[in-house]
Amino acid sequence: MTIQELNLDSLDLRYAKLRVRRPLVENRLMASLGDRGQQSPVVVIAGKEAGRYVVIDGHKRVRALSRLKSDVVKAAVWEMSAVEALVAAYQTACGSGWNAVEEGALVWELVRAAGLSETEVGRRLERSKAWVSGRLGLVESLPEAVMEGVRSGKIGAYTATRHLLPFARANAGDCESLAVKIMENGFRSRQVETLCRYYGSAGAEGRRRMLEDPGRFLKALASTRLGGANGLGVEEARCLKNLELIGNVSLGVARNLPVVAGSDTAQGARERLKPAWEVARRRWEELAKTAAAVFMTLAARPAANGGPQGGNGEKPAHVG
């Protein structure tokens, strides 16, 4: 392996499709490159044409440098085949940072494009054959519009695998139409989940209207909920929606925080995140006090039978 300074226009980006774009990450990376310059080399192998190099790892850095109008890039040149380099890049990261769709794209490249057997790919990636088959089936079941949305960062990998994959297996054409609308409107995962759920229970006309204008459908659904669904008034419905949102966001942070800041090497991340956590904790404590006062007051009121019972006749749970 040698470290060289290469011209950006000498790079072949054919494998950029294996990794998804993350606009926020790339914006931060571009700012860092602009301030400090390139610190880590990208990984390339020699192309078939003289003076050409195929990028194996580091596509985000290449795009960021291009946006900064740089002419050159620092690159580590690996002397091996494309298959060996792709496998080595995945193994070097131990799969870290690769989502299921990216892994599926890598498996597809190795099996369908390079011609390796699923057993051989499993051996090289240190995965089971079942895992290889599952990842391959994942990307081959998703319509191209969904794959393009994931690659561009407009559709999350979780949304694609959790909500759109079952949809695609039931009706690939309608799933592709919905994927186009998702990219146009920037729907979030919960909105996509709602659309997929209602699609499954709607009739033919309802499905047609939902796919024609999913944004209007979501607005109509939200209006119905705020307008008194389940006997709630507008303010009650808003409180319920916000409490559900707080719960979901809290759960998401609880799952993600150990990943980004829980390791021994994540001291910098902890230092950056802790001030935000302190603010969030104080606000949560204020909400907890308010909720405790409201619900404890309600629970302490005498019920119809003379005891401090809840509406279902059970003793109220302690609110801490």
- 226: pLDDT confidence band, cut at 50, 70 and 90? low
Indicate the number of domains in the chain.
2
Taking the C-alpha atoms of residue 98 and residue 138, their distance in angstroms, rounded to an integer, is 14
CATH number, domain of 18, equals 3.90.1530.10
The phi and psi torsions of 73 (rounded to 5 degrees) equal -140, 140
pLDDT at 307 over 70: no
Average pLDDT across the chain, whole number: 88
- CA 231, chain centre distance (Å): 35
pLDDT at 206 over 70: yes
Give domain status of residue 22, yes or no.
Answer: yes
Q: What is the pLDDT of residue 33?
A: 95
Give domain status of residue 299, yes or no.
Answer: no
The CA dihedral of 56, 57, 62, 64, to the nearest 10 degrees, is 150
Of the candidates 175, 169, 182, which has an alpha carbon nearest to the alpha carbon of residue 140? 169
Q: Compare 42 and 303 and report the one with higher pLDDT.
A: 42
- Return all residues near 162 (Cβ < 8 A) that are at least 6 apart: 189, 193
Give domain status of residue 220, yes or no.
Answer: yes
- 201: pLDDT confidence band, cut at 50, 70 and 90? confident
Cα–Cα separations (whole angstroms), residue 270 to 46, 151, 284? 40, 29, 20
Q: What is the pLDDT of residue 242?
A: 87
Residue 110 and residue 83 in contact, taking contact as beta carbons nearer than 8 Å: yes
Residue 28 and residue 70 in contact, taking contact as beta carbons nearer than 8 Å: no
What pTM, to 2 d.p., does this model score? 0.68
DSSP run (H or E) holding 191: helix 189-201
**Residue range 261-296, pLDDT digits in tens:** 888 788 888 889 999 999 999 999 999 989 888 887
Taking the C-alpha atoms of residue 81 and residue 79, their distance in angstroms, rounded to an integer, is 7
Residue 20 and residue 150 in contact, taking contact as beta carbons nearer than 8 Å: yes
Give domain status of residue 302, yes or no.
Answer: no
pLDDT at 232 over 80: no
Q: Compare 109 and 222 and report the one with higher pLDDT.
A: 109
DSSP run (H or E) holding 42: strand 42-46
Which domain range does residue 5 map to?
A: 1-79
Give domain status of residue 141, yes or no.
Answer: no
pLDDT at 223 over 90: no
DSSP 8-class letter at 230: G
Out of 229, 260, 295, a domain closes at 229
Amino acid letter for position 130? A
Give domain status of residue 276, yes or no.
Answer: no
Residue 210 and residue 202 in contact, taking contact as beta carbons nearer than 8 Å: yes
Q: HSE (CB half, 13 Å, CA atoms) of 66? A: 12
Taking the C-alpha atoms of residue 295 and residue 317, their distance in angstroms, rounded to an integer, is 10
Give domain status of residue 199, yes or no.
Answer: yes
Taking the C-alpha atoms of residue 125 and residue 111, their distance in angstroms, rounded to an integer, is 12
Give domain status of residue 238, yes or no.
Answer: no
**Residue range 10-23, pLDDT digits in tens:** 999 999 999 999 99
Taking the C-alpha atoms of residue 61 and residue 51, their distance in angstroms, rounded to an integer, is 20
Cα–Cα separations (whole angstroms), residue 52 to 13, 58, 87, 103, 162? 11, 16, 21, 26, 39
107-111, 169-173, 309-313: range with lowest mean pLDDT: 309-313
**Residue range 128-157, pLDDT digits in tens:** 999 999 999 999 999 999 999 999 999 999
- What number of residues does the chain have? 320
Residue 4 and residue 77 in contact, taking contact as beta carbons nearer than 8 Å: yes
Neighbours of 66 (CB within 10 A): 16
